[in-house]
Every structure is written in C-alpha cells, then in structure tokens.
Amino acid sequence: MVILVTGANGQLGQSLQSISGRFPEFNFVFCSSHELDITNLDNCKEIFLKHKPDYCINTAAYTAVDKAETELEKAFLINTIGAKNLAEICNMHQATLLHISTDFVFDGNKSTPYNEEDIPSPTGVYGQTKLDGEKAIQSVFENYYIIRTSWVYSQFGNNFMKTMLRLATERDSLSVVNDQTGTPTNAVDLANALVLIIKSKKEDYGIYNYSNEGQCSWYDFAKKIFEVNNVKINLIPIPTTSFPTPAKRPKYSVLDKSKIKRVFGIQINNWEDSLKKIAI
C-alpha cells in the first residue's frame, strides 16, 4: 500500500515522517514542494505515474494568513488549483485523497463547536481559497477525506508554540490576545489520525473535523507553553483590537469531533496533555 505525502517539509509532513516507521505495512513516499509542485498538473501526473499511490495525503498549503490578503493569486494557486489537480490525478489513478483544510472556512460567529454540517463563511483570502479547494475536490470525485483542523503546532516547522518560545528568549514580556477561542492541535496527533483513517479501510468519504479536545484562548495556550517548558516571562492578555492584523481571525473556532470519533473510533487527546508530550 503506497501513501504519497505532499508538502513533506512542512510541519504536518514532517510529523508524518516521524511516525511512518510505526506502520511497516505502508510504503510512504514523501515529496517536498520542490519534488512535487501541486500547482503543476504535469508534475503531478509524472509523480503519480512513478509511484502509483493508493492514497495521497495533501499537506501542501499556502498558510500565511495575513500575507494571503495581498498574495491572492499565490494562495489561490496552491490552496485551490493545487487541491483540484490532486483530485483529478487521484481520480485518474483510482487513489483516495486525504486533504487538510482549516477552521478558517468559518467566520467564527458561533459560540458552540462547529460541526461538518455548518455552512462555511470565510472572512479572508486564506479561508476562502481553502474553501474553494474543498469545493474543487468535491467537483471532481467522491473518494476524498477533507479534514478540517485548527491551531496546528509541533516540534517541526514554524508555528505559534515555536514563535512563543523564540520570543521568550528575546523579551521580558509578551502580549497575547485572549478573546479568540479555539483548540490547539498537535500535528503528530493529526498525522496519526490520518494514518488510522487509511488503516480502517473504510470508504466513509466526506468532510471531517479533527483537533485536540478542549478549548482555550491564544493567551491560555501561550501560558501553558511557557509552563510546560519552564519558561518565566511576563505574559499580558490583550484584546484582538490591540493587535490588528491584515486578515480577520475567527473569534470562535472550536471544532466538533463527534463524527471522526464515531466513524473511525479515533481517540483524541486533550490539548494540554498533547502539549506536554513535546516540551522543547
């Protein structure tokens, strides 16, 4: 069973690499964006012909939320056209696509967890291009799992946890917003869930939510990061209005994981427990 992973150098791609040895029954093929440019249909055809994957996990994405507001074409090319290219090639090769999407497809105006039936309403370019990518996949074929996730962090790549720890070495105090609520997701936990979906051999295709359990603000998340890593710093809670950004963030983006737990029997860790596992 061959599993092709795009975006191998990103944090989810690296997380998949870190656990791949636990699954000897699968032959993982990891392709960086230099080896496999998902925006190039011919390149996709060439790689699929070479490796003949049964599954493709698409972790490649344009994720610079604020930059996307001015780099519309680049975000659209990677998040929408790239997703469509992979769906078309998977369809040609009768492969199943696992595609990573985001809580940013929602506007954040709810006060209860978002489920897969909620109507998306993105407020920025990043969320819109990810939603358009979902729709593009759905327009091509049915053999897909679209996994929406949130606040992804890990010991790999660039993310909020690593940024906080770096800033703590440069400053005596930090201000972090405390009025946006969501759930941090350990990328290694997400990677495990993706492989478990494949291992299940089920064909319950569609959209699924996955994040760790529980909820917190960015301030709460930062506080726990410093606590787990024994970092002493003056942490100041601030409202979103004190930290304006080009792209609007969802005020509330907690995801309901009932469906993925029910269909695949996946057990999900609380975000605080998962954070403790990767103290740096």
Give the DSSP letter string of 145-169. Answer: EEEEE-SEE-SSSS-HHHHHHHHHT
Q: What are phi and psi of 55, to 5 degrees?
A: -135, 145
Marked catalytic residue, from 126, 153, 208, 219? 126
* Inter-helix orientation angle 218-228/160-168, to 10°: 60
Q: What are phi and psi of 152, to 5 degrees?
A: -75, 135
SS3 28: strand
**H helices present in 52-124, as ranges:** 72-76, 82-92
Contact 133, 79 (CB under 8 A): yes
Contact 255, 210 (CB under 8 A): yes
Torsion from C-alpha of 209, 213, 217, 219, nearest 10 degrees: -130
* DSSP 8-state code for residue 227: H
Is 126 one of the catalytic residues?
yes
- Rounded Cα gap, residues 108 and 42, in angstroms: 38
Catalytic residue positions, numbered: 126
